[in-house]
Structure 1
Amino acid sequence: MAVSGADAEGTVEFDIQALPLQVALERYSSLTGWSVLYQGALAQGRTSRAVKGRFTPDAGLRMLIDGTGLMPRHSGPDRVVLLPTASAPVRSVAPARTPPAYIAYYGSAQANLRRRFCQDARLAPGDYRAAIQLDIGGDGRPRRVKLLDTTRDPSLDAALVETISATAFEAPPAGMPQPLTLLILPKTVARSADCPGGRNAAPVTEEEAAHG
């Protein structure tokens, strides 16, 4: 997949200052086209490192989160889940050792949303980005969907919230920290291998049983 803004070697020109982690990750996602998923509480009180220069998206992300106590885990070619490292401070909502069941669930939920975006012509194309926060109930239905960073298009914002709210997920593991925060560029989704056929791709029957 061609990374948004990448050169022939797959590198991207970064110019991100040290910022609150959520803001820095949104800028990272906008530059690279990578989607990033993490527990919402993990960004609280954390600041990114400055990243300036031309790097691959993977190297840029590792530099960005260096020293935050978080580590990236790939859930696809351009999808990453952020997890606390074993040495990160223990918080009530962010255990130092993330249970495998949580990691698997993150990957499954991320892939599920990717499929839904691929199926909807309103969401697959376009040069927009969004930061989405969602809480998934015990029945697998989203209880709350919030756009942390909007697309600046009210109709598109409404379509995103409508689609995510109507998405059926697997029931989350007991005790899994919520809400989840997802940074995603639907334009990149439409161009990726997860959307065969382009804008109006047919539904995918199975993709990534694990979210991590």
Structure 2
Amino acid sequence: MLGAGADLAMGQESPNASAARITFDIPSQALTSALESYGATARREVLYDARLATGRRSSEVKGVFAPSEALQILLDGTGLVGRLTSENALVVVPSSPAAGQPTTPDVDARKGDPIIRARYYAQVQERVRDAFCRDSLLRPGRYRIAVQFWIAPTGSVQQTKILSKTGDDRIDSAIETTLRGLRIKEAPPQGISQPLTMVVAPRSPEQTQDCVGIDAIRYGGEAN
């Protein structure tokens, strides 16, 4: 798992990841639903600002592609790009400050900075993933869900909304409870609108390395 400060542009994947080509069949549609379909097909966790996706449409993705190639095609013309935060997780951010929101002389241009957004989103992803890994019911890899959440200026998650349920009421309830009790290390940077949307997709056992770091800390501590 990469730290929250890690920042990889799409396409800078490991050779093994790039070689894993997948069949995609995602019609042009509302970007929000297209990103959910992408996450499910690519088996990747996706985090994005719901406001940025609203009103935008994806390009059609049909054929066999590496996940990074497919996302580039899907986002073509939207003014948004994908950035990897770990091998199986990514965030979607503006390709430039202007693509996120207009800036004026009295508004800090960094508000729309895609690097600032990507690093904060990565921190949120890591915090959520760690919380899920500490709960045996919520460990990633076995379920699919799309959920929105709002982060208060204090860094605490104050509201959640499930967009696409897992099919297991226990997991859905536990996810909402866990998120509402979560606190992000930093407050949301200026210019990031709410809510944030996260898509968690099921993955094969070979891909589910999300909890390795947490397990090492937990079991290493127990061993001591």
TM range (shorter): 0.7 to 0.9
Picking from 156, 161, 166, the partner of 2:176 is 161
CA contact (8 A) 1:36 1:79 kept: yes
CA contact (8 A) 2:155 2:183 kept: yes
Tell me the TM-score normalized by structure 1. 0.80
Partner of 1:177: 193
Deviation of 1:133 after TM superposition, in Å, equals: 0.7
Tell me the TM-score normalized by structure 2. 0.76
Partner of 2:215: 201
Deviation of 1:150 after TM superposition, in Å, equals: 1.2
Cα-to-partner distance string for 1:137-195 (whole Å, 9 max, x where unaligned): 12221111111111122221101111111122122224532211111126569943331
Distance 1:99 1:88, change over 3 A: closer
- RMSD value over aligned CA atoms? 3.0
CA contact (8 A) 1:119 1:203 kept: no
> Which runs of structure 2 are paired with 1:53-64 in the superposition (5 Å)?
53-64=63-74
Picking from 12, 26, 29, the partner of 2:22 is 12
- Distance in 1 separating the partners of 2:118 and 2:165: 27
- Distance in 2 separating the partners of 1:125 and 1:193: 9
Tell me the amino acid that sits aligned with residue 14 of structure 1: F
CA contact (8 A) 1:119 1:202 kept: no
Q: Which has the larger radius of gyration?
A: 2
> How many residues get paired?
196
> Which runs of structure 2 are paired with 1:137-152 in the superposition (5 Å)?
137-152=152-167
Identity of aligned residues (%): 36
- Distance in 2 separating the partners of 1:141 and 1:8: 36
In structure 1, runs of 5+ residues without a counterpart are: 205-212
Partner of 1:90: 101
Tell me the amino acid that sits aligned with residue 177 of structure 1: S
- Distance in 2 separating the partners of 1:36 and 1:125: 13
Distance 1:89 1:103, change over 3 A: closer
